[in-house]
C-alpha cells in the first residue's frame, strides 16, 4: 500500500465527518459554496471539490473556514466521537 493510501485508510471516517460537519455548518449559516469559496479566494467549484473531499483540506484552511463561520476548534470538534478501527 502506498504511503498516501495508508494514511487515507486510517483517517477516512474522521475526514469525512469533518467535511460533513463543515457542510452542515455552512448551510446553518445560510452561506453558499460560492460565498465561502469567494471569502477563501477559491472558486465555488474549487470549494465544492474541497467539501466533497476531492481537494484535501489542510489545517490552516480548516481554521480559516471556522473563523468565517465564527466557530472555534473546541466547539467544532465537541460532538466528534472516537473513530477506532479494529
pLDDT for position 56: 87
pLDDT value at position 79? Answer: 81
Per-residue pLDDT reduced to its tens digit, 68-82: 999 999 999 988 876
Q: What is the pTM of this model?
A: 0.81
pLDDT at 37: 94
Q: Where are the alpha helices (DSSP H) in the chain?
A: 3-28, 33-40, 44-51, 59-68, 73-77
Give residue-wise pLDDT tens across range 2-57. Answer: 666 666 677 788 889 999 999 999 999 999 999 999 999 988 799 999 999 998 89
Amino acid at each position: 500500500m502506498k504511503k498516501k493510501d495508508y494514511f487515507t485508510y486510517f483517517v477516512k471516517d474522521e475526514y469525512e465527518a469533518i467535511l460533513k460537519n463543515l457542510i452542515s455548518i455552512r448551510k446553518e449559516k445560510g452561506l453558499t459554496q460560492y460565498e465561502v469559496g469567494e471569502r477563501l479566494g477559491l472558486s465555488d467549484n474549487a470549494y465544492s471539490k474541497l467539501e466533497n473531499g476531492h481537494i484535501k483540506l489542510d489545517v490552516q484552511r480548516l481554521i480559516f473556514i471556522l473563523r468565517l463561520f465564527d466557530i472555534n476548534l473546541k466547539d467544532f470538534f465537541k460532538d466528534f466521537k472516537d473513530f477506532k478501527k479494529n
